Amino acid sequence: MIFLLVIIYLAFISLGLPDSLLGTAWPTIYTKFGVPLSYAGILSFTVSCGTIISSFFSAKIIRRFKTGLTTAVSVALTAFALIGISFSINFWMILLFCVPLGLGAGSVDAALNNYVALHYKARHMNWLHCFWGIGVTASPLIMSFWLNKGSWQSGYLTVGLIQTGLVIILFLTLPMWNRVGKIKQSNQDKIQENKVISLKEIIKIKGAKPVLLAFLCYCAVECTAGLWGNSFLVIAKGIEVKTAASWISLYYFGITLGRFISGLLTVKMSDKSLIRLGQVLILIGIVLLFIPSIDFIMCVAFFVIGLGCAPIYPSIIHSTPNNFGADISQSIMGIQMACAYIGSTFMPPLFGLIAQYINISLLPAFLLLFCILMIIMCELLNKTKRNSTN
């Protein structure tokens, strides 16, 4: 079972690897292809639409094909898409390959999150997302290396080949998922068979609407900062492209380090406390972005925002079976993932329009708005759960 957990961790590295490539490479790509700055939002929108679709249907897919096969096929789709992007000769080819890139992410995200939430302790959920952070931190460094050599395509190809290696490992270990699944089912009778319930039924559950909106707001903050942070540093703060590409990796490193630390803190702190701590750190980081251009402060700001983001996503996910019941957690998890990706679908493109037609310097204000909304939704969820237990 420990070896299977290692495989799940590797799968989450593969989930994180593609997420920060576009934001890092975009200042080079849009100038090379002669497209508007805001077109990054179109690519992000396309990826997220694919992810939303696969997340909505994830409960049915996983119920039929099981977690292991769903994960392996999903990672294979992302590998295919990344290699395809590396050979793209114009914007529209990149857009085409963004479709399988998005479809590959949704089901594996919902499958692995629910699997770990049901079968492992809170520290494993945080460390799971820490491994996502390893992937999302490594890819800007890989892309920065190839940008120094003048080839953003090689950055995508390198990550695509890494994904291909992970796909091979996942397919070779498929029998293990079945064996461990049988052991878990026999040892944990308290975990009921997953029920597939409709979106209409989920919305009626107390606390469901606040948690779905909280996911949306969280991903609006995380993804907008990740996609536009590099361009913000280059355009608004006048930092060199190659330097900014390296610096934005500090944002993802903050997420990665924060999730490792959060895993240790679960011994002393509840999911609710970790979420609140993360929200405070995000607010501090955003405030630092309002300070007039001081290069060191900008580095610290994105790092602190990353630290703040670290515990929020895994802590909300880990509390899902406890908040809503293990028997329907997979269905709710899929909708949660879909709402999270709605935030990442619409909010980064929206800010892209703001950046192009108003001013990219408004990034801190944009992040602040959604951070405050996220805090309100999380507190509404806490209030609902307190009332239901009284």
Which of 40, 29, 356 has the alpha carbon at shortest distance from 224?
Answer: 40
- pTM value is 0.73
Question: Are 355 and 231 in contact, with CB atoms under 8 Å apart?
Answer: yes
pLDDT band at 85 (very low <50, low <70, confident <90, very high): very high
Task: For residues 9 and 16, give the distance between their C-alpha atoms in angstroms, rounded to a whole number.
Answer: 11
Polymer length of the chain: 390
The string of pLDDT tens digits covering residues 135-169 is 877 888 899 899 888 889 999 999 999 999 989 99
Alpha-carbon distances of 27 from 38, 164, 233, rounded to whole Å: 11, 27, 11
For the cut 70, the answer to whether the pLDDT of residue 193 exceeds it is no
Tokens for 23, please give them. Answer: 């934001």
The string of pLDDT tens digits covering residues 355-369 is 989 999 999 999 999
Q: Give the SS3 label for residue 328.
A: coil
Angle at 256 between CA 355 and CA 334, to 5 degrees: 75
Of 93-102, 159-168, 201-210, 326-335, the least confident: 326-335
For the cut 80, the answer to whether the pLDDT of residue 117 exceeds it is no
For the cut 50, the answer to whether the pLDDT of residue 84 exceeds it is yes
Chain position carrying tokens 């939704």: 377
